[in-house]
Structure 1
């Protein structure tokens, strides 16, 4: 309960004002109310104990910690861990009913998810996926977004679920018609009054993390209870994940909110003397909307900064800040100014050191492996034989002029503890790597089965 709420409920009365009239007037003027006046609901799900695909160790911890955090912020929390299909449907129905009478609604999910033909799906722990018909057993993210829209003031969708899902590859192979099964999740544009936050960019895969919580949820828990404006909180979450991942994992963030919202904002009351009567002053925000439309059409940082300078206290200021922040993030990810993205045919020729770092997945342990490679006339080849375990890894491919390529990796497994399916030592395996080479460095990500990052350094 806020200090103002306690003051009203304690029976404090100003001279000449009745208690009910004073409290209702101040609450209405500030757009706030006592704790019971604003209804906040949340559905928090953590799925990790999967039956037909890789298990995830963190979602149960993520869900427990997020639920406790939201309860401290005044939310009525519906919580579920390791939900089967029927249980997941029951909780989403309960949440839809709760959101219809709520002022603020949050949906948080940690676990496996996937996209198919541009539609995102959340996976119950008992779901199998032999063909596209099995997707009816999953929960559509679009349906969750529709349920959130029933809340009156603020809606938040958080998906910490862009982990590598081997079942997506199975579906890709078994599809009976032309279909798109992409990596990660498909982008979701936030409807008005909504914040959408994914743990990484659309089409990318996020790390599950080696600690109690995933990297994204660690940042979420750090910031969500802070007394800051909600848009700033989610920008801080994105920034933390980006920095903590060595600038390899950037959360997808879409905000479509007008005005400022606080989950735990400070409450202050100032009773000012009445202003002297005089001619009405011009509304400083009267032309804000027209200026915003012009700035949004131009779309440059200078245009958005000009809007902020002119209309810093008006309705579109938050959107201008979000656009500026988005442009800054794009600049951070872009190659340095003047750096050519097109090279001649022998730019990459020479000897290269390759480091493969694979995080733990389910019961499989993580590992790091170093290889020596060469590039000759744009043809890449690297290989390694571990004499202790007789495991092998060979990486081959062609590097085009722009440095962007897909490499193929193949080899024989080592100890079973490091393999996804507890494969016997000496079992053959293969996967592909999306890579980007610069003049003396490069980076890559494994596409199938588990999350692995590769670093290439020219000697």
Structure 2
């Protein structure tokens, strides 16, 4: 049932089997925009995503076509529910509608506000992702908080260079997924009976992926699926504007997609592995940190266990490690195998992620070697930031630019500042070198 103002009462999901921590979700979908900016697929996005999330054990609240006051109220109510939940709860916030960027801040544009309005109007009339969403939700390192932003448009006319949302870093315990890369537009079909490209992939994989897949790997599978669908689309314009989803992650726990659907919940759960060999091969893959080792182990795992319930995770590991291998061969990335060896200062989990091409883990490892880190080492600091930037971390690229400026290397500083902007990162005015 839908309440006045577009808010729908949550439907309490069936308790997850096996003592699963509670799962909570808030979905906001804004279709109603003026002057030809309406987004027909948005309500279907919310309907279909809600259905599959409830099947995955989430208690879902939703709001459609919310103005700023209603969106803030819905977010505040949801945040209070999260604070009242156990600290290991799994939480998902989803927004689909128009997005904008003003002074490096990502805005989720409220219903009935023109997304092309003046910046001051957008700021007054929108949710700010950092302040009003991530800032409202409690930091929960023992839990998992996910924010999914499918900000899109139905027309690609008059697309400005660099238009789109800004890169962000996720708070501890969080994953933030954007439907497209920073500074790039996301396209939506002008058809209320179809979903946007990103949400279509998300719903499809939530329905079909193995229960053993982690949410972290799920979003990487969605990223690969969106890229594949759009790069192979029959319309040349959509291939030209193919979306490359962006993920910012700083999670410290792993959550599987389980629980099983209700009709399967009463059945005995399948063994995670079909054989001891599969279990041993997976353990070896999970422990590997050097990208070439990961890529080979993942390839072998998929060859030897093609029907494994963890095949999707192996595909994600192989794709990330393959990209990492290519980057580590570049002359502008001075990071070697010794950097991936565990020490007391380096969290093993971060090394595992970095070896799979996690740009955010690479940046966090760099900061361990920075001036304020546990173990100052300028060479390692630069190497890890170079690696993070090459993986697509615009914030790391800008941090490296500031470092090179401090140590008197203006050419390198300019190079990495330019690279940061190419990656879609706009520094806040207080950090912007060009304004000083």
- When normalised by structure 1's length, the TM-score is 0.50
Q: Secondary structure at the match of 1:191?
A: coil
Cα RMSD for the two superposed structures: 4.1
Change in 2 beyond 3 A, CA 1:206/1:131: closer
Q: Which residue of 2 aligns with 1:351?
A: none
Q: Which residue of 1 aligns with 2:102?
A: 116
Q: Secondary structure at the match of 1:315?
A: helix
Q: C-alpha distance in 2, partners of 1:119/1:164?
A: 23
Change in 2 beyond 3 A, CA 1:165/1:84: farther
Q: Does 1:183 align with 2:169?
A: no
Q: C-alpha distance in 1, partners of 2:259/2:389?
A: 26
The count of aligned residue pairs is 263
Q: Post-superposition shift, 1:134? A: 4.8
Q: C-alpha distance in 2, partners of 1:224/1:301?
A: 36
Match 1:161 to one of 147, 151, 155: 151
Change in 2 beyond 3 A, CA 1:65/1:301: farther
Q: Post-superposition shift, 1:258? A: 3.0
Q: Does 1:323 align with 2:313?
A: no
The answer to whether the 8 A contact 2:102-2:119 is kept is no
More helix by share: 2
Provide, for residues 118-159 of structure 1, a one-character-per-residue CA deviation record: whole Å limited to 9, x for no partner: 001111112253451552221110121123334450010100
- When normalised by structure 2's length, the TM-score is 0.52
Change in 2 beyond 3 A, CA 1:307/1:77: farther
Q: Which residue of 2 aligns with 1:274?
A: none
Q: Does 1:252 align with 2:243?
A: no
Unaligned runs of 5+ in 1: 7-32, 173-180, 271-284, 289-294, 333-459
Q: Which residue of 1 aligns with 2:228?
A: 243
Q: Which residue of 2 aligns with 1:360?
A: none
Q: Which residue of 2 aligns with 1:178?
A: none
Q: Which residue of 1 aligns with 2:204?
A: 222
Match 2:219 to one of 231, 234, 241: 234
Match 2:47 to one of 64, 84, 92: 64
| Greater relative contact order, per chain length (Cα 8 Å cut-off, separation 6+) | 2
Q: C-alpha distance in 1, partners of 2:338/2:48?
A: 37
Change in 2 beyond 3 A, CA 1:153/1:244: same
Q: Which residue of 2 aligns with 1:85?
A: 68
The answer to whether the 8 A contact 1:43-1:77 is kept is yes
Q: Post-superposition shift, 1:264? A: 1.4
Alignment of 1:33-432 (within 5 A): 33-35=18-20, 38-52=21-35, 54-102=37-85, 103-128=89-114, 129-130=117-118, 132-142=120-130, 143-151=132-140, 152-163=142-153, 183-209=163-189, 212-225=194-207, 226=209, 227=211, 228-246=213-231, 248-264=242-258, 303=337, 315-316=349-350, 318-323=352-357
Unaligned runs of 5+ in 2: 1-15, 232-238, 261-268, 273-286, 291-323, 361-386, 393-436
More strand by share: 1
The answer to whether the 8 A contact 1:41-1:104 is kept is yes
The answer to whether the 8 A contact 2:93-2:148 is kept is yes
More displaced 10-residue stretch of structure 1: 57-66 or 46-55: 46-55
Q: Secondary structure at the match of 1:192?
A: coil
Q: C-alpha distance in 1, partners of 2:48/2:341?
A: 39
Provide, for residues 181-234 of structure 1, a one-character-per-residue CA deviation record: whole Å limited to 9, x for no partner: 951101111122111110110000011036611110111012224310122111
The answer to whether the 8 A contact 1:52-1:126 is kept is no
The answer to whether the 8 A contact 1:45-1:108 is kept is yes
The answer to whether the 8 A contact 2:39-2:154 is kept is no
Q: Post-superposition shift, 1:92? A: 1.2
Q: C-alpha distance in 1, partners of 2:34/2:389?
A: 38
Q: C-alpha distance in 2, partners of 1:317/1:64?
A: 39
Q: Which residue of 2 aligns with 1:439?
A: none
Q: C-alpha distance in 1, partners of 2:204/2:34?
A: 32
